Amino acid sequence: MQTWQEYAKSEYGVTLSAGQSEQFDIYLRELLEWNQKFNLTAIRDPEGIQIKHFLDSLSVITAFPEGWIPLSMIDIGTGAGFPGIPLKIIYPDAGLTLVESIRKKAVYCEHIVQALGLKDVIVSSSRAEEIGQDPGHREHYDLALARAVAKTPTLVEYLLPLVRLGGFVVMQKSASAKEEAENSRNAIRLMGGKLETLIPVKLPEIDDERYLVSLTKAKATPAEFPRRVGIPSKSPILN
């Protein structure tokens, strides 16, 4: 049976250096230890974390154009740092902003960034709507990410305002991905985006349907988006 690192190499084209493997080992140990006190994730066994967190995060790379490397990334609703921190380990020169409004999870992210020796990482407890209207973040990033944070029409309003023209949004979604993407076409258009691909994701020994929904930024997002805190989730823009 393949190790999770071997699977990452064979399926995603990701070869970990010795230093990167050590960083993932530290990440695993720290998450297991902190999870006993703070309930950061429902996945509590090492193999589950390696597959459902580490591999699942690295699967995002399969949505990138061939040879493309992000120079700046933002992860909305990152929880215990997924998928942003695993991608930062792979792309150490890329700037990363982690956005997590639950303070205990943000504190863990701050801790693990230090424990892993990661540079050029910002951890913010602001809400996604606030970040999207902040001139320091708006239309600033090559790549905006989210995993299981909200329905796709809401995520589109969170994420597209954050990426520069020509930048990418990648959302990690479950079996409802196709239906949600179809219901998001109006929101994508209004935010200046274009729906690119829905890529099925397979994880070892996991039967659940998983998809990557990728968008590109074709036009500037109008100034009124994202709307005020709470509005995108309560009143998503539907077709």
Residue 149 is predicted with a pLDDT of 84
CA dist., res. 148 & res. 80, Å (int): 13
Summarised one tens digit per residue, pLDDT across range 77-111 is 999 999 999 999 999 999 999 999 999 999 999 99
pTM reported for the whole predicted model: 0.97
Residue 33 is predicted with a pLDDT of 96
Summarised one tens digit per residue, pLDDT across range 122-165 is 999 999 999 999 999 999 999 999 997 899 999 999 999 999 99
Average pLDDT for 1-28: 96
- Percent of the chain scored above 70 by pLDDT? 100
CB 76 within 8 A of CB 128: yes
What residue ranges define each of the domains in the chain, with the CATH number in brackets?
Answer: 4-234 (3.40.50.150)
Band of pLDDT at residue 1, cut at 50, 70 and 90: confident
Band of pLDDT at residue 17, cut at 50, 70 and 90: very high
Residue 49 is predicted with a pLDDT of 97
